[in-house]
Structure 1
């Protein structure tokens, strides 16, 4: 194995670890945060960076092995365009419902696994 190939493999491994960490943090935030505006940032920010990092690792590995294709690039472009737009729509609906006099229902009082328990 040459030095350049080893460097590419280290880069791919680092991107996989970073992507997995961002995706895990985003998923945990989606489950544990209790209000919609707090929950909004977990999947749109952290998970987008996580999946983008995983796709970048896949593109680098495919390019290094000679099987380069544009599938990963197209998926990444679609993800980076749709995730912020859907997050913006969720935020607008939340703000619209608050201004319209219809207050959102409060989160459940019981401390279950799907709510953030402050201590």
Structure 2
């Protein structure tokens, strides 16, 4: 059973590392803030969670598992919120390539392209 758990942990660690690597490549490759945020949140969080699962399998029964659980919980809670706030600020300051947007719901609701949820400069 230990050999099977070692293989599962290794696969999780390698797959998580690959996803984190692709997130880094996406940050370098994509053209604007919104697509870079997609690369920074989706595969990076999934990659980190896979690495944490692999580490948890290897560290089963130790107090370090609680730290891994806390890291996973904080990452899952903070990554989407921070990406949302960064995207709102980028949209408001016009750092978004609007030619790449398929639907611009914020401009439709605001009537002119400004984000009504953010005030001031």
1:12 paired to 2:20? no
1:70 paired to 2:70? no
Gapped runs of 5+ residues in structure 2?
A: 95-112, 115-121
Question: How far apart, CA to CA, are the structure 1 residues paired with 2:67 and 2:2?
Answer: 23
Question: How far apart, CA to CA, are the structure 2 residues paired with 1:58 and 1:78?
Answer: 17
RMSD: 1.2
TM-score, normalised to structure 1, is 0.75
1:44 paired to 2:15? no
Question: How far apart, CA to CA, are the structure 2 residues paired with 1:31 and 1:73?
Answer: 30
SS of the residue 1:67 aligns to: coil
After superposition, the C-alpha distances for 1:12-68 in whole angstroms (9 at most, x for unaligned) are 0110111011000000001111211111101110111111110111111100xx424
- How many residues get paired? 95
Match of residue 82, structure 1, among 67, 78, 82: 78
After superposition, the C-alpha distances for 1:50-91 in whole angstroms (9 at most, x for unaligned) are 11110111111100xx42430000001001111111111111
Question: How far apart, CA to CA, are the structure 1 residues paired with 2:43 and 2:82?
Answer: 15
1:92 paired to 2:88? yes
Gapped runs of 5+ residues in structure 1?
A: 101-119
TM-score, normalised to structure 2, is 0.73
Larger relative contact order, structure 1 or 2 (CA cutoff 8 Å, min sep 6):
1
